């Protein structure tokens, strides 16, 4: 049974003793155990119920007391093996302590109920996992949920949990948030600790929250970052990103940007010079650094990898050092170009994905008019932003059709003001979650 109440509403109802934490958590556990979407990889039923009972006894408190949450299976959970979506890690030693972000969410009173599916080693935009199954989109199980944090997005969209954690290196929060129609965030680089998170490309890795409302997302982000956000009364200068971010965009992606800008009454357009080169540099960094991280294991156990992931890692490991060095040097140049846009604008709007969720069976999307693997290309617009290190909110357009999301891009320090804007747009019905089947 799904429950689409917000995390803050649940926390308030539990605090007022209108409902018990145990009842809320038991419902979440039962939903996770009968999950038809392959979102969960493990469910901690007895531990979760025990924690909920502790909340009801007043032994656990905090702003999220009694609220269930789940985490992508690359966050350390004390006593559990962190698989990172890989069969070859099933025999690894169990984590001795929680990842720092897991510890923070638990310290806020939330109750961990399980781990969530992902692309193996977070390398992909589809959550097609040879070992643990393909995560299905709750809006249409014949379609992809996105990745690599697909289980995190699907579990929230399906109403199993109101909050989840994922990671975003090159779009792994923004892509599944868009395809599953939930809120997500890639924080500014370094804003949220990575201690106890299985690495992919540490120069680009971030921890990202998922939620069904912008206010829930904000509260979870504040818990992760360890500080409350403050807004501001200043008007925000907003522009849409054009050029690279309009090319390859399907009609629904273009329409999403059009709808938001029309509602805001804005017509400003910005173009990011060298966006395609920025995406390419991030692609090279990901391939080369990810390949180097796995090189020793690939030599010993290549046959135990997902073949698609293995081949991409091997190709990355074979890139000449000079190519990686050029990409690393270009990153600094690209960031300077990008930050020049903030001289004119405070917020930049772009599609989060080039299209809504493609069919699993098809496995491709159109790039430059030709079919290309969805697993590698659903993140083309997200990748072009990742290299900058700036904060990005993935905001779902309110729609009756398949979900589609937007990237709301800003500079560090303006997160509070941008969240204020998101709350207003959600209240006005332009942005927001719609449950599968249009229930709420």
- Which of 51, 164, 172, 213 is catalytic? The answer is 172
Task: Give yes or no for a contact between 161 and 28, defined as CB atoms under 8 angstroms apart.
Answer: yes
- Which of 72, 164, 167, 214 is catalytic? The answer is 72
Tokens 């800008």, residue located: 261
d(CA 357, CA 351): 13
CA neighbor of 129 nearest in space, from 139, 144, 141, 108 = 144
Active site residue 172: yes
Task: At 28, give phi and psi (nearest 5°).
Answer: -65, -40
3-state secondary structure of 371: strand
DSSP annotation string for 117-152: --SGGG--SS-EETTTEEPEETTEEEEE--SSSHHH
**Running DSSP on this structure, what letter comes out for residue 264?**
H
Active site residue 72: yes
CA neighbor of 147 nearest in space, from 97, 90, 84 = 84
**Strand (E) positions, 261-346?**
269-270
Task: Give yes or no for a contact between 121 and 77, defined as CB atoms under 8 angstroms apart.
Answer: no
CA neighbor of 6 nearest in space, from 195, 216, 191, 225 = 216
CA neighbor of 356 nearest in space, from 403, 399, 398, 401 = 403
- Which of 148, 167, 178, 386 is catalytic? The answer is 148
**Running DSSP on this structure, what letter comes out for residue 431?**
B
Tokens 């971030």, residue located: 206
Residue positions annotated with a catalytic role: 72, 148, 172
């Amino acid at each position: 049974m799904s429950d689409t109440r917000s995390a803050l509403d649940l926390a308030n109802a539990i605090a007022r003793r209108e409902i018990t934490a145990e009842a809320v958590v038991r419902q979440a556990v039962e939903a996770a155990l009968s999950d038809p979407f392959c979102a969960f990889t493990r469910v901690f039923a007895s531990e979760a119920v025990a924690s909920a009972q502790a909340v009801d006894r007043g032994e656990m408190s905090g702003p999220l007391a009694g609220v269930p949450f789940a985490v992508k299976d690359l966050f350390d959970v004390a006593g559990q093996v962190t698989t990172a979506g890989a069969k070859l890690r099933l025999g690894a030693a169990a984590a001795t302590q929680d990842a720092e972000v897991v510890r923070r969410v638990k310290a806020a009173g939330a109750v961990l109920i399980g781990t969530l599916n992902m692309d193996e080693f977070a390398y992909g935009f589809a959550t097609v996992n040879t070992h643990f199954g393909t995560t299905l989109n709750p809006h249409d199980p014949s379609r992809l949920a996105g990745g690599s944090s697909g289980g995190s997005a699907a579990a929230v969209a399906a109403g199993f949990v109101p909050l989840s954690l994922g990671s975003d290196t090159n779009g792994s929060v923004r892509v599944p948030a868009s395809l599953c129609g939930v809120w997500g965030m890639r924080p500014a680089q370094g804003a949220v600790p990575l201690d106890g998170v299985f690495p992919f490309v540490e120069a680009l890795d971030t921890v990202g929250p998922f939620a069904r409302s912008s206010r829930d997302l904000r509260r979870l982000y504040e818990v992760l970052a360890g500080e409350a956000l403050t807004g501001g009364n200043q008007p925000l200068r907003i522009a849409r990103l054009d050029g690279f971010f309009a090319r390859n965009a399907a009609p629904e992606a273009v329409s999403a940007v059009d709808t938001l800008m029309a509602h805001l009454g804005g017509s400003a357009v910005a173009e990011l010079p060298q966006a395609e080169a920025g995406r390419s540099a991030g692609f090279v960094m990901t391939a080369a650094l990810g390949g180097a991280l796995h090189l020793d294991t690939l030599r010993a156990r290549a046959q135990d990898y997902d073949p698609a992931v293995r081949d991409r890692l091997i190709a990355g490991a074979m890139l000449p050092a000079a190519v990686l060095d050029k990409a690393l040097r270009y990153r600094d140049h690209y960031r300077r170009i990008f930050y020049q846009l903030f001289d004119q604008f405070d917020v930049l709007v772009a599609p989060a994905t080039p299209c809504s969720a493609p069919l699993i069976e098809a496995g491709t999307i159109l790039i430059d008019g030709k079919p290309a693997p969805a697993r590698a290309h659903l993140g083309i617009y997200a990748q072009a932003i990742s290299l900058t290190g700036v904060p990005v909110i993935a905001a779902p357009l309110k729609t009756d059709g398949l979900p589609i999301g937007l990237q709301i891009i800003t500079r560090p320090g303006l997160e509070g003001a941008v969240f204020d804007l998101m709350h207003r747009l959600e209240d006005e019905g332009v942005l927001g979650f719609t449950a599968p089947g249009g229930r709420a």
